[in-house]
Structure 1
Amino acid sequence: MNSIYTAEQVRAFEENSFIKEGDDLQAMMKAAKQSVEILNKEFSTSEFLILCGPGNNGGDGYFIGIGLSELKKSVKFIDVLSHAKKSPLCEHAFEAAKDSDFIHAKTLKDISSKTIIVDAIFGIGGRIDLGSELEEILSSCNRFESKVAIDVPTGLDCNSGEISQACFNADKTITFIGYKLGQRINEGKNYCGELILRDLGFSMNKNVSPIVKELSYEDIKRHLPKRRENSHKGDHGRLLVIAGDEGYGGAAIMSSESGLKTGAGLVKLLTRKSHVTASLSRNPEIMVSGADNAQDIEANLEWPNAVVAGPGMFLNYWSEQILYKLLVTIADKGTPALLDAGALRLLSLKAFSKINLHSEIVLTPHPGEAAEMLKVTTKEIQKNRIKSAKALQKKYGCIIVLKGSGTIICNENDIYLCSSGGPELAVAGTGDILSGVIGSLIAQGLSPFEAAKTGVVIHALAGEECANNVGKIGLVAGELIPYIRKFLN
């Protein structure tokens, strides 16, 4: 499980670690040496172009170039923002490299695209309001076939994962001390490429609590449901799915099907009567009933171990009355539940303000739904996904799954990140599949928080594997289920 930090945490740790005079220079030399080892190992070519900024990241770049030259590599430098005052460490490194081959940024177009280009402009001190001069340089950099960033690609905010108008699009990023949050969320995953961490011997993960912990399959594997040899369907949980307003029966079918095919022993679907035939035709194993009013669902609320509600629901009378009846009932009983899609938007209505949502309920908003729930803009949600998830948790008192590029899972005490998954999941219905998976895991006995973490990870990994097999374009949500089942088994 990787520990992920904010830029402020890393800076504070560095300042507290560099107590003795000269420690910061020694750390820079060590970072440069390890970067040279990586570059020499990863690339057989002997041509390198290093872009150095005026700060300490630029100092890293100068020392990296000196190290590569000592290995008989051909190295050229560009002193980016040469008019800016250099930091003391950068000035020291610049003096050591000043007799090297320096070129002007305007000649980038004349350099072979097979040259390895190394971005040492800003690093952790970077920003996204770069200005046209730097953005033009970065656009020219991105035509090169092999691109390596030192610490953080220029143009990437290392807290939010937002990017400037242009951003260095690295194939690999060599990062130091600890992983930065912006490298693992939003655009950061795309622009960092392969992340290679070198902690330089400072062991930040043993001394500083991370802002968030990054989940992997190894972290959730032990929570996967197990089957006893003499078990029966009643041992594997009863999942009730309430979903599918008129014209949106597909959401109800997908969420109930994913619940069934990821291990729930019994699955019951309550949906509009017009969708019953379609559901039975596709999944005769699912018990499906038409529910056109709140009274139609009342008798079914004593039955489940877990409830999923919301896929294919909207701001209309049917969805409102059905959800209201459900929430009032589970508030009294404490039944674990997951609310998604339309159910999340309904929570903002005045009619629901007095209903107490208990801590065993999972809310799974995407950024747009989260914005509506917090009455802010989607941009504000994306600018600080950690803060947004915590705000949702505090407001509703539930487990939060803030979906997106770098899904955040949190409860009152703990917060986790799943950075797996990619654009292949950005299609209609994948959220319905995830809802069914998490609901199924709850029904099978996982705590709602463990089910949320586990479901998010295997859903994301299923997307990655499907994309590896067939490509990132054209995935249909239902195609995820066999891959999810593979990870469950």
Structure 2
Amino acid sequence: MNPGRPLYLAEQVRELDRRTIAAGTEGFALMRAAAQAAYSVLRARWPEARSLSVLCGAGNNAGDGYVMAALAAEEGLAVQLLALRPVERLTGDAAKAAELAARSGVTLTPWSAEVSLEGEVIVDALLGTGLSGEVREPFLSAIARINAAERPVLAVDIPSGLCADSGAVLGAAVAASATVTFIGDKLGLHTGAGPARVGELRLKTLGVDAEAYADLVPAARILTEALIGETLPPRPRDAHKGGCGHLLVIGGAPGFGGAALLAAEAAARLGAGKVSLATAPEHITASLVRCPEVMVHGVRGAPEAAPLLEAADAIVVGPGLGQGPWGQGLLQAALGAALGAGKPLVADADALNLLARGRIEARPPAWILTPHPGEAARLLGGDTASVQADRAGSLRQLALRFAAVVLLKGAGSLVGEDDGAPLALCPYGNPGMASGGMGDVLSGILGALLAQGLAPRLAAEAGMLLHARAADLAARAEGERGLLAGDLASYARRLANGVGRS
């Protein structure tokens, strides 16, 4: 299978840089190559621009900006070069770059709060991947000025203020129109706040083959849509429902039936041979009206669910489950069945909240947890901000604590477990998914894939892709605003059958 583009942590990319220089590439030559690559993207993206504002901090990121200023001046563009660190304090290749800009006739202007940005395009070369703490002055003011300028912004390597490892905003971050990143792609550009700050992303490897270094294991890999076809090949002509898996969805406490209905219908659309729904008795009629293909059962407690659990090949528990005695009893029964019979299980929504409350101790051998950042925080006993500040680390903690495959939702959703292998990152999805019921549909998709025999890790990866790509197709058809969870099932079905895949 296509492993997908590797994503690295900042220190790994710095190590690649060090090894490239140690192998004989002169550091300043590498800087000039990076600046040339970024400048070429800028000219291709905004060919009509005749003036630039280039903001430089310190270190190699600033050096890239100084070289870009020189390239622009040599081409005849008007260049406003703003320095947030005095040139006399620059060292090494950054100092050489500043000298190059001066020789090219660029006038350097020290940054001040009174300076206005004059260029048609702004180049952000303020802070690179080495930033670890909160952004401080004068960079804080410069970032605010860039974001308020309402002009195109090209970020050099990374939007200033964005954490290269986590995608967290370190106090403030540039919202770029485009970002050119170098040598190796960075995890933080694709998850958390990264996708909202990066704009159009271009990777320039500068001739460095990151994957040639086997000891530098990527932090994650970007999944491709090809995984859907690789995991869901066409069925044999003699396929029958008994060989396509039986999924049981458990949820829908009194008054909360919609979530479980969404999950069950999505599972049916994704090819589970049979789908049963264990829900509060008052939701039977609504289920039969919405999707009569689902075998709905009204259950008043865990004892009535026992034969359903025994018949199922896979289980989804949590959508609309509630956290009262009804939900607690059914969750305990579902986990017990999964533990005793080795049946794969998806735990979502209130199932996660009950786990976070410590009411349930069972740990099935094959299960998927699907928390959003808030649920992840509760499971870890922390807060949402801490999860978002280290999404990859939080996922690893959850996987270790619960011995599970974890799908951490949000922009740049991640899948992984506690095995040291790179995480899987989903590059798809859109803001229209910020509406109720999306997670329930995802749970149904995952359950359907488990019922059809996919291992939990593979089901989580393929299901994450199906869910996000279905949302993109639905948004493309009718727009993001007003996108409903129920819109996704039919598009996910098309993707699972090879219709509409790119």
TM-score normalized with structure 1 length:
0.94
| Gap regions ≥5 residues in structure 2 | 498-502
Structure 1 partner of 2:180: 174
CA contact (8 A) 2:80 2:118 kept: no
Alignment match of 2:30 (pick from 19, 23, 27): 27
Amino acid paired to 2:200: E
TM-superposition CA deviations, 1:163-215 (whole Å, max 9, x none)? 14432111110000111111111111110111100111111122121011111
* 1:127/1:155 contact within 8 Å kept: no
**1:388-467 equivalent positions in 2, closer than 5 A:** 388-413=394-419, 414=421, 415-467=423-475
Q: What is the identity percentage for the equivalent residue pairs of Structure 1 and Structure 2?
A: 34
Whole-Å separation in 1 of the counterparts to 2:374 and 2:358:
20
Which residues of 2 match residues 43-442 of structure 1 at below 5 A?
Answer: 43-44=46-47, 45-82=49-86, 85-98=89-102, 99-103=105-109, 105=111, 106=113, 109=116, 111=118, 115-127=120-132, 129-142=134-147, 143-207=149-213, 208-353=216-361, 355-358=362-365, 360-413=366-419, 414=421, 415-442=423-450
**Could you say what the CA RMSD is over the residues aligned between the two structures, in angstroms?**
1.9
State the partner residue of 2:495: 487
Distance, in Å, in 2 between the alignment partners of 1:133 and 1:319 is: 53
Secondary structure of the residue that 1:160 maps to in structure 2? coil
Q: Which amino acid aligns with 1:93?
A: A
Q: Following TM superposition, where does structure 1 have runs of at least 4 consecutive aligned residues deviating by more than 6 angstroms?
A: none
Deviations 1:341-389 (Å, cap 9, x if unpaired)? 1111222455522x2321x111111111111112122222111111111
Of 34, 38, 42, 2:45 maps to: 42
Q: In structure 2, what is the Cα distance between the partners aligned to 1:155 and 1:57? A: 13
Contact 1:108–1:140 (8 Å) recurs in 2 = no
Match of 1:299, SS?
helix
Q: Could you say which residue in structure 1 is the equivalent of 2:9?
A: 6
CA distance in 2, matches of 1:49, 1:295: 70
Aligned to 2:500: none
Q: Note the C-alpha offset of 1:83.
A: 7.4
- Give the 3 Å change call, closer, same or farther, for CA 110–405 of structure 1 in structure 2: closer
Q: Which amino acid aligns with 1:126?
A: L
| Distance in 1 between residues matched to 2:359 and 2:471, nearest whole Å | 37
Q: Which amino acid aligns with 1:440?
A: A
Check the 8 A contact 1:225/1:441 in 2, yes or no: no
Task: Give, as a single letter, the amino acid of the residue that structure 1 aligns with 2:68.
Answer: I
Q: In structure 2, the residue corresponding to 1:122 is in which secondary structure? A: coil
Per-residue deviation, residues 275-311 of structure 1 (Å, max 9, x unmatched): 1111111111111010011111111112111111111
The amino acid that maps onto 1:65 is: A
- Give the distance between the partners of 1:291 and 1:78, measured in 2 at CA: 69
| CA displacement, residues 415-471 of structure 1 (integer Å, 9 cap, x when unaligned) | 211132132212110000000001111112222211110000111112223233333
| Cα 1:60/1:337, change in 2 over 3 Å | same
Is the alpha carbon distance of 1:388 and 1:166 closer, same or farther for their aligned partners in structure 2, counting shifts above 3 Å? closer
Query: What is the CA–CA distance in structure 2 between the aligned matches of 1:192 and 1:351, rounded to whole Å?
Result: 41
